[in-house]
Structures are given as C-alpha cells and as structure tokens.
Amino acid sequence: GNSVTQMEGPVTLSEEAFLTINCTYTATGYPSLFWYVQYPGEGLQLLLKATKADDKGSNKGFEATYRKETTSFHLEKGSVQVSDSAVYFCALNQAGTALIFGKGTTLSVSS
C-alpha cells in the first residue's frame, strides 16, 4: 500500500541556517504530494503541494520538488527563522483515497 517516510527529528538549527527535511514515498501511480505544518497548539495547515513529477511547490520561503525517479519530496528552506519552529508532516494523496501522512518531524530554531 501507499506510505510516506520522513526523517526522524528533532531537527535543531540556529536562525538563518539551511533546512532540509527528507521525505520519500511509496505509491502506485501518480500521487499528489504535500507538506503540512503544525505550529505549537494549533491544527495542521497546508504549507505547499505538488501534483505531478518535477513540479516545485513553494510557500513562505519553503520549497519542495516532486522527484518521481527518487520517489522523494524533500522540504528545504534557505534561511530558517525562530517562527518556523513547528512540526512538519509530509503527505500523499491519490484521487478518491485518503491522505496518508508521515510521522512528522519537529523543527526547533534558536536565535
């Protein structure tokens, strides 16, 4: 069946450092891929998405590229801020099926 694997956290960075959170997936066909973010005390919200191979999703300085050859959708940001501290979830979805989440990666950014 479909699945999503994320790098385990926590990830601890200093402000302005470069961020990568790895995500790989297993799926039949061509899923859509997502990154959701959960700030402390809040629900999940969509950060970015990509619907086909080689698409790049971007939002708030974060980017992720849908790589079908490596079945990956790694999240990157060039310069993190303290306000980026949150839990990040990679997820996949195929039309007519439920969203499947990775286990989440906690990011902690210090000033």
Q: How many helices (H) and strands (E) does the chain have?
A: 0, 12
b or e along 79-94 (b: 16 or more beta carbons within 10 Å of the residue's beta carbon)?
ebeeebbbbbbbbbbe
What x/- string results for residues 20 through 59 when contact with another protein is judged by CB under 8 A? ------------x-x-x-----xxxxx--x-x--------
Among 29, 40, 98, 111, binds another protein (CB under 8 A): 98
Handedness of CA 34, 29, 6, 93 (dihedral sign): positive
Binding span for another protein by CB under 8 A among 19-27, 64-72, 77-85, 91-99: 91-99
12, amino acid identity = T
What x/- string results for residues 1 through 20 when contact with another protein is judged by CB under 8 A? --------------------
Kindly report the number of other CB atoms within 10 A of residue 105's CB atom. 20
In angstroms, what is the minimal distance from the CB of 64 to another protein?
14
Interaction site with another protein (CB under 8 A): 32, 34, 36, 42-46, 49, 51, 89, 93, 95-96, 98-99, 101-104
